[in-house]
Amino acid sequence: MSCFWLLLLLTALAVADWPNRDEGSDACSQLPEYGTCRSHIRMWYFNRYSRRCQPFDYSACGGNLNRFFSRNECIQHCSLTRRPNPNLLE
């Protein structure tokens, strides 16, 4: 019986965290974050104002989801699926 409650608890936690796993929801609209470590790794982020993928230095720790290993990965994830946002000032 205790396995049932454990399984139920794990299922509830997974369902509660599900919206946070949708990387496409707002990852491409976030500003790039360097992170909290001291490394310098060249990554790519989607600039929501210019609507282009641009390089930035990443520290290898922390940061957010607007971080891609290549320009092509950034383009595939953000550029093709992002519609213009009428609330942004050009």
**How do residues 11-68 score in pLDDT, each as one tens digit?**
554 444 334 434 455 899 999 999 999 999 999 999 999 999 999 999 999 999 999 9
Domain ranges of the chain: 23-90
Per residue in 63-79, pLDDT (tens digit) is: 999 999 999 999 999 97
> What are the C-alpha distances in Å from 53 to residues 8, 15, 75, 78, 89?
42, 32, 6, 8, 19
What are the tokens at 67?
Answer: 């971080």
From start to end of 38-80, where are the E strands?
A: 41-47, 52-58
Q: pTM value?
A: 0.62
Q: Which CATH class is domain 23-90?
A: few secondary structures
Which structure tokens are listed for 84?
A: 């213009």
